[in-house]
Structures are given as C-alpha cells and as structure tokens.
Amino acid sequence: MPTLKIPYLKEMFHENPLNISDRLITSGAMIHIDKINWKEYPHRPGVKVYLGYCDQKLWLNYLVANDFVRAVCREDQEPVWQDSCVEFFVKQEDFYRNFEFNSLGVCLSAFGPDRNSRTRLDEASLAQILRFPSLSIENLPSESVAANWSLSVAIPLELIGLNPGSQFMANFYKCGDKTIVPHYISWSSIGTSAPDFHQPRYFAPLELAR
C-alpha cells in the first residue's frame, strides 16, 4: 500500500469545534475502513475517516453509517471494543500505541514496546484527547435500528510520539464485539485466521506531510 500522506492544516487547533468536521472533509486525507478479513463476520458498516494534523495534534474524523449502535461504556479505559467502536493503532520504532473510542467518545488507550508490554494512559493524558461525538447519552438510537454517527478526535502528537514529517505504520478499525451484529473491519487487510487487530506486520505506512 502506498504511503498515506496526512496534510498539515494550519491553525486547526484554534478553530471552532463545530467547523472541524467540515474542515477535515474538505482539506484532509480520506480513507475507507472496509476490509472484511474474516468471513465469519461479514457485516460491514460504512466507515470513512478524514485525517489532518496541526502543530500540536492529529485530527481524525470518523463517519459511520448503518451501524447498530451499542454504547454501554461511559468512563475512559472501559472495554469500548465491545461497543460500537472505532480505533487507531500506530507503530513506530520502539513504541506501539492504540486509541479506541466508542460512539460517545469514551476512550481506551495504552502504549509500550509491543502488544504484551503496554501501560494504559493515565487520566491526565486521556484528558488531553479532544472528542466531539455526534451522539450523546440522551440521543442514542435503539440498538436494533441501523443508524449513522460521527466522531472527531484530536490526539496530541506528543502522546503518539510523532512530529511534523514523521513516518510511521498504522491501521484503522471499526468493531463491535457485543453489538447485535459483531463485526471486525479494517483499513489495511489483516491475514490472521481469527479477529486480531494487534498485528503491526499488517499495518500500512503513513506520513505527516510537511
């Protein structure tokens, strides 16, 4: 897969949050999370991700369609992968990090040299991750009805270990272990026999373009 170049969006951090999604859609890079890697799980909600970065943060705007929304987790570091969940995993040299969000923006994140030696982000670090979900506890759709939702997040580059010009390996996912229709789809294809997103060998190259 060719290197995905994430554009620099000047002064993005200072924009009105209400305009962030539109700015990313018009000026960011776009990918589809659409790879079905395991035939036992054929469900494929429509998922686009728009990406951009500014001096301080990486911005991701997830647009999800036809999803059976489950949002049980309400506190950071709860098992959001069991909910309607979007994820970003990154690997560069000696660090490995995962950022997982349910449709309410609740986050689970950890870092370390590999999948087996990771430490969860502390509360202060998690508080630095900005989240702008389209859904709230008050307007959650019924789990039995396919619905659309979006989530914009801004992750400090320092938390990811990146700088402008950085090249790294990553993958993006959509899953829902305990949703009405469990599913596990990815941006870059995964060649394991069973669902497993912690597979850096299947990550694809990205760059924070200058």
Whether pTM > 0.85 for this model: the answer is yes
Query: What pLDDT was estimated at residue 21?
Result: 87
d(CA 44, CA 113): 31
Lowest mean pLDDT among 54-63, 113-122, 192-201: 113-122
Calculate the average pLDDT of the chain.
Answer: 94
**197's tokens:** 């997103």
d(CA 59, CA 52): 5
Contact call for residues 141 and 26 (beta carbons, < 8 A): no
Query: What pLDDT was estimated at residue 14?
Result: 58
Say whether 161 sits in a helix, a strand or coil: coil
65-93 pLDDT, tens per residue? 999 999 999 999 999 999 999 999 999 88
Query: What pLDDT was estimated at residue 82?
Result: 98
Contact call for residues 36 and 44 (beta carbons, < 8 A): yes
Strands 4-6 and 204-208, bridge-based pairing = parallel
**179's tokens:** 């949703």
Contact call for residues 37 and 184 (beta carbons, < 8 A): yes
Domains plus CATH for the chain?
A: 4-208 (2.60.40.1190)
